[in-house]
Amino acid sequence: MLQLSLWHDFHTDGRASELKLHPTSATAALMRRLDIRIVERGGQYAFFYGQSTEEGVPPASLWNAGFPLLLNFGLIPESPNFSAYSDLPLSAEVEQRYFFTNQRPGSGEDSLTLSVAAEVGAGDLVQSFPAIHSVALPAVRPLTVQVTNAAGQLVMQDSITGQAQDNQPYLLDLRNEDGGRYDMAITGEDQPSAEETRYLLQPNGLPPNCWGFIQLVLSDPFLDEAATPEREAPDYHLRFKSRATIWRYHLVNQNGLEYDDLKIVENRTPVPLAEVTESQLGDGV
């Protein structure tokens, strides 16, 4: 069906096995209903159908589900050391999440790479919002508010009439939607061109230490009737780079014990000791 690989340059084998995918509540329910399964081996995730025809075509239940399908996952670091060998400003705060999708802005549904082709950077850290939050609207009335999901499907439409009242915010309610990217467009009689705003909805059903979010949009080009067992599955990659800051080590001479060298065995490339400090503490130490 598809493959997703997580990489980190810090490790000798390059695999970010300490990062785990955790489906949102809605995605977990969808995968159970359509019998979509995942096999994980050291940061490499293979998505496949639990049932298929002899020709390798997906089961009818998948076709009847309608397309596009949205699969949403949180990125959970199982090792607390992940932030120690990454320069990313990792945070589990509600207001910010790292966001990745297989749809690059402007590239359409045929994009076969995540939003970061090479390495994850600070630009992938975006603002996220709770399911209900206040939105500032233009004072001119009437207005039409439309919200679409990452697949371009309309999930909400509201017509606003009457006079705008001071300090009266508009509450955008997306409690019935899964986490992910949403676009809100505002149009009116005096505003023929839509004013568009992009939101990242805070996902539900994820552990509190979730700091990243992956949204996969699967459309018909991935799952057409001409699919065969030999058809190559889409292959997505997400790569993290090693810490670029300077590592400093303070070597202490303890009871005459001498240190000839120091190295980090897990690191793929040698760590140079640019600064060396030796200290002799008190007697017997």
Residue showing tokens 């499907």: 153
Q: How far is CA 87 from the centre of its chain?
A: 17
CB 156 within 8 A of CB 147: yes
| CB distance 118 to 239 below 8 Å | yes
| List of domains in the chain | 2-127+204-240 (no CATH), 132-201 (2.60.40)
Pairing of strands 170-173, 132-135: antiparallel
Q: Coil, strand or helix: which one is 282?
A: coil
How many other C-beta atoms can be found within 10 angstroms of the C-beta atom of residue 285?
10
Q: Print pLDDT tens along the chain (285 aa).
A: 788 988 887 787 888 888 899 999 889 998 888 888 899 998 899 988 776 555 555 666 666 666 778 899 988 888 877 777 776 666 555 577 778 887 654 333 333 345 443 445 555 667 778 888 888 888 777 888 999 988 888 999 998 887 766 657 788 888 888 888 888 888 887 665 666 777 778 777 777 778 788 888 886 545 544 445 555 677 888 888 777 665 555 555 555 555 555 544 455 555 555 555 555 555 544
